[in-house]
């Protein structure tokens, strides 16, 4: 039996997570808790209950079957006490409109590779491959490594999308199986990094240097969030990296999208999230031209 892990989803024919047409595997679990996370359902390491308010008919059938009193009525509306859920799943079986689901599923490496191999022709024809993302894939280290290793055995291009916050020896261990790292650079200020993501950035910088010095192919990915890190200081820091690390494979900026807030509401985790408007194209172009003025060439929108 091959290694098992918990995934959120597998997205086939993805074009945003590395070159060409790819299959992206989103794993559960992340040591960070970014206020702007696009995939909040991937932060928690475990399978979770998800509640879609828009689909709920307020029929209250779930209340009577739940052994943990997770569901209750307030002012005629169905509410959920997520912290009490023990994942019995009974409420799912009586919900008439699929308002309740579970986020996360257990999969073996073999099962994932079987799915990945179905699209091998697309990868070959487009210069694509497989991306492991999350969450933070390094948190399910053996699982991630085995998927990447199997991809390489099948001559499939591999990309690892990482926040950089994992033990350094793991990055060296996994490097032979990764053709391209998508490496996050979220905030240059030490204190602000902690405030926005829950962790300091020293380990992340250390691992970036380690990978770079050992010849890893890296694209730096910079989420830019209005009112948080769209500052001159941070843009300067990005341009400093561009000048210093001349063998970087590219720099991408990822304009903020508020898709994460809605997903966070579904799992009862919206308290930690910012609520700002999705960045429009005009703003994104302003950021690109500001970074270009700092000397960065060929910035891409991620
Ligand atoms: S059973 Fe489903 S539709 Fe009915 S109240 Fe519960 S969540 Fe809403
Ligand atoms: S590192 Fe990525 S997955 Fe983890 S919380 Fe931040 S944005 Fe979300």
Q: Where are the domains of the chain?
A: 4-45+104-301, 50-102
Beta strand 180-184 pairing with 218-224: parallel
Is 29 within 8 Å of 41 (Cβ atoms)? Answer: no
Ligand 2 within 6 A of CB of 32: yes
Smallest CA separation from ligand 2 atom 7, residue: 37
Tokens of 41: 């359902």
pTM (predicted TM-score): 0.95
Q: Which atom of ligand 2 is the closest one to the Cα of 260? A: 8
Beta strand 129-133 pairing with 71-74: unpaired
SS3 167: coil
Q: Which atom of ligand 2 is the closest one to the Cα of 223? A: 7
Sign of CA dihedral 169, 172, 177, 180: positive
For residues 251 and 300, give the distance between their C-alpha atoms in angstroms, rounded to a whole number: 7
Residue 86 has pLDDT above 80, yes or no: yes
Give CA separation, 204 vs 120, 125, 255, in Å.
33, 34, 21
pLDDT tens across 103-150, in order?
Answer: 999 999 999 999 999 999 999 999 999 999 999 999 999 999 999 999
Ligand 1 within 6 A of CB of 58: yes
Smallest CA separation from ligand 1 atom 8, residue: 56
Q: Which ligand is nearest to the CA of 53?
A: 1
Classified by CATH at the fold level, domain 4-45+104-301 comes out as: TIM Barrel (3.20.20)
Span 50-102: which CATH code?
A: 3.30.70.20
Q: Which atom of ligand 1 is the closest one to the Cα of 55? A: 3
Is 196 within 8 Å of 190 (Cβ atoms)? Answer: no
Ligand 1 within 6 A of CB of 56: yes
- Can you spell out the DSSP letters for 41-78? GGTSSS-EEEE-GGG-----HHHHH-TT--EEEETTEE
Is 29 within 8 Å of 44 (Cβ atoms)? Answer: yes
Residue 163 has pLDDT above 80, yes or no: yes
For residues 219 and 221, give the distance between their C-alpha atoms in angstroms, rounded to a whole number: 6
pLDDT tens across 228-241, in order?
Answer: 999 999 999 999 99
Question: Residue 161 phi/psi, 5° resolution?
Answer: -95, 110
Ligand 2 within 6 A of CB of 136: yes
Residue 1 has pLDDT above 90, yes or no: no
Span from the CA of 162 to the centroid of ligand 2 (angstroms): 9
């Amino acid at each position: 039996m091959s290694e098992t892990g918990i995934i959120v989803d597998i997205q086939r024919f993805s074009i945003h997570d590395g070159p060409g047409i790819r299959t992206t595997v989103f794993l559960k679990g992340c040591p960070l808790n970014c206020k702007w996370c696009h995939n909040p359902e991937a932060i928690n390491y475990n399978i979770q209950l998800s509640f879609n308010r828009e689909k709920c008919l307020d029929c209250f059938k779930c209340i009577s079957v739940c052994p943990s009193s997770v569901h209750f009525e307030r002012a005629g509306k169905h509410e959920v006490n997520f912290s009490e859920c023990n994942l019995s799943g009974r409420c799912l079986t009586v919900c008439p409109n699929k308002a309740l689901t579970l986020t996360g599923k257990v999969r073996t490496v073999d099962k994932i590779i079987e799915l990945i191999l179905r699209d091998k022709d697309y990868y070959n024809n487009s210069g694509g491959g497989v991306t492991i993302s999350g969450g933070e894939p390094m948190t399910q280290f053996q699982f991630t490594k085995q998927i990447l290793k199997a991809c390489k055995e099948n001559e499939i291009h591999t990309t690892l999308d990482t926040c950089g916050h994992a033990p350094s020896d793991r990055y060296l261990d996994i490097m032979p199986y990764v053709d391209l790292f998508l490496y996050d650079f979220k905030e240059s200020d030490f204190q602000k990094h902690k405030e926005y993501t829950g962790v300091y950035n020293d380990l992340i910088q250390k691992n970036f240097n380690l990978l770079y010095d050992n010849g890893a192919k890296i694209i730096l990915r910079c989420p830019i969030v209005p009112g948080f890190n769209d500052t001159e200081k941070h843009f300067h820091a990005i341009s400093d990296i561009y000048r210093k690390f001349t063998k970087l494979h590219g720099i991408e900026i990822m304009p903020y999208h508020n898709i994460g807030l809605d997903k966070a509401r579904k799992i009862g985790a919206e308290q930690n999230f910012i609520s700002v408007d999705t960045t429009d194209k005009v703003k994104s172009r302003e950021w690109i031209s500001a970074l270009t003025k700092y000397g960065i060439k060929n910035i891409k929108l991620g």
